[in-house]
Amino acid sequence: MAWLAHLGQNDTPSRHAPQQLAEAARAVYSTRVTSPAPTARSAVRFAIAIFLSSSLLFLIEPIAAKRLLPLLGGSAAVWTACLVFFQSALLLGYVTAHWLAGLKPRVQAAVYVALLGASLGQLFITVDPRPHADPAHPISSVLLLLTLLIAVPFVTLSATSPLLQAWYARSASGGVPGEADMPAQPYRLFAISNVGSLLALLLYPWLIEPRMTLHGQTSALAGGFVILAIVCGVIAWSIAGTPVGHDTRSHSDDPPVEAVLAPARLLLWIALAACGSVLLSAVTNHLSQNVATIPLLWIIPLVAYLLSFVVAFTDERWHPRWLVLLFGIAGAGAAGYYLYRGTLTLPVAAAVAIFCASLFGICLFCHSELYRRRPEPQRLTTFYIASRQAVRSVRSSSASQRRRSSRATTSSRSGCSSPRYSASS
């Protein structure tokens, strides 16, 4: 009887009352019922889940690789097989998120919760495993062992960030009193995921690995996954009630929806993402081969690279386009000048600082342009597959060369050639 109440706002009789009655009824019954937009509390849940998933994804790789070291050593075949597994599982996770995003919300939530349960089961079964390997067939042994140890958790963690960002965008299409102007910014969560990756990258070699046994690391990983499963379970339960056909709300800072994704736009995503990754590989190889052969030196340019993602995918008011362009030009100029002049006369710390700062400036420009050309939230998972897989593919192509350049110093430090830090790179 909402239309009667609406009509009752005007108590003055009028000969137009029947027409007003009909218009009020049409207005009420044509109103689309939407679910509430994400509150600050729900946004925090999404941020915590994405932060945890990215951190665990960066931690599960070196922990699994360290399990292989006593069995198969650190030969080039073991290294290559690890890269193949991680790249394939990562792509499978992104494809899984893309597939799930096209299903009904209730089906998405059910399948994702099932993946979380299967991941927990595999992690707890392999907390204290007794793996066996055949050194005569290292490649097949690596692929089999990694599949038995971390396959389901790795795929689930890979799918978590893009899928939760798509869920956040979907849940932000209604109105909440007092929060009507809160924009749906799933791409801001991408910056949070890179903060989690950066933190795990820094903590593992200097805090976790030296102070915890392998059993302790695996137990801590399982405990972190339990927390992630609880948070994601709450999010999935809320998403399961989203009505079918629920569209995301358009905002002034969101790009317009295209009927068909233009191939040129897709290629530009891949090119911008690959450009930053190529620069990361080039700077890492130059520092490791021509500046100094220092264990874990590759972490410094990787930190600069991840920081560029964090800054680029935050509010554009903090990094206007003219300032980002200035950083890019300065970075390219400084790197080109010192490559032409040579770095033999520079102290090692100065050379590392110059090239890493140049890498940050150029990558910030590339990733900021990538953010400005981001698609509408409905195509978020496609954006992930195109940009992130381009990054991983280009980075893995230079990983073997970086591995060879640092093998001698790593061997002198640990007593053997170890793939334990391969995943983070």
Annotate 281-349 with three-state secondary structure: HHHHHHHHHHHCCCCCCCHHHHHHHHHHHHHHCCCHHHCCHHHHHHHHHHHHHHHHHHHHHCCCCCCHH
Cβ contacts of 148 within 8 Å, gap of 6 or more: 126, 129, 131
Please report, to the nearest 10 degrees, the dihedral formed by the alpha carbons of residues 86, 89, 93, 98 taken in order.
Answer: 110
Amino acid at residue number 189: L
Report the half-sphere exposure of 127 (CA within 13 A, side-chain side). Answer: 11
Task: Give the integer Cα–Cα distance in Å for 368 and 361.
Answer: 11
Q: What length does the chain have?
A: 425
Q: How much is the pTM?
A: 0.76
User: What is the C-alpha to C-alpha distance for residues 374 and 376, in angstroms, rounded to an integer?
Assistant: 7
Distance (Å, rounded) from C-alpha 424 to C-alpha 413?
18
Let me know: does 20 contact 14? Beta carbons within 8 Å.
yes
Sign of CA dihedral 274, 275, 276, 280: positive
Q: Pick from 305, 282, 301: which is nearest to 364 by CA?
A: 305
| Residue 269 burial (CB count, 10 A) | 23
- DSSP helix/strand/coil, 43: helix
* Calpha distance 92→10 (Å, rounded): 60
Those residues whose C-beta lies under 8 Å from the C-beta of residue 63, and which sit 6 or more positions away, are: 214, 217, 218, 221
pLDDT at site 322: 92
Give 3-state DSSP helix, strand, coil % of the chain, rounded to 5: 75, 0, 25
- pLDDT < 70 stretches in the chain: 1-40, 128-129, 172-184, 241-260, 343-344, 388-425
| Closest to 308 measured CA to CA, from 286, 283, 290, 289 | 283
Q: What are phi and psi of 10, to 5 degrees?
A: -115, 105
For residue 296, CA distances in Å to 116, 290, 313, 383, 419 come to: 33, 15, 27, 31, 12
- For residue 299, give Cα distances in angstroms to 45, 222, 289: 30, 25, 15
CA distance 389 to 383: 10
**Whether the Cβ atoms of residue 159 and residue 62 lie closer than 8 Å to each other:** no
What phi and psi, each to the nearest 5 degrees, are found at residue 208?
A: -80, -55
**pLDDT score recorded for residue 19:** 57
Task: Report pLDDT for 266.
Answer: 87
Q: Which pLDDT does position 397 carry in this prediction?
A: 46
DSSP 368-414: HHHHHT---GGGHHHHHHHHHHHHHHHHHHTHHHHHHHHHHHHHHHH
The pLDDT value given to residue 221: 93
377-390 residue pLDDT tens:
778 888 888 876 55
Query: Would you state the structure tokens that stand for residue 68, as one six-digit string?
Result: 């292989």
Look at residue 172 in the predicted model and tell me its pLDDT.
61
Residue pLDDT, tens place only, 335-351: 999 888 876 678 889 99
Alpha-carbon distance values, 412 to 37, 75, 283, 417 (Å) = 55, 15, 24, 9
User: What's the rounded Cα separation, in Å, for the pair 185 and 227?
Assistant: 24
Between CA 398 and CA 334 the distance in angstroms is 23
pLDDT of residue 401: 45
What is the DSSP secondary structure assignment for residue 179, as one 8-state letter? -
Q: Decide if 386 contacts 264 (C-beta within 8 A).
A: no
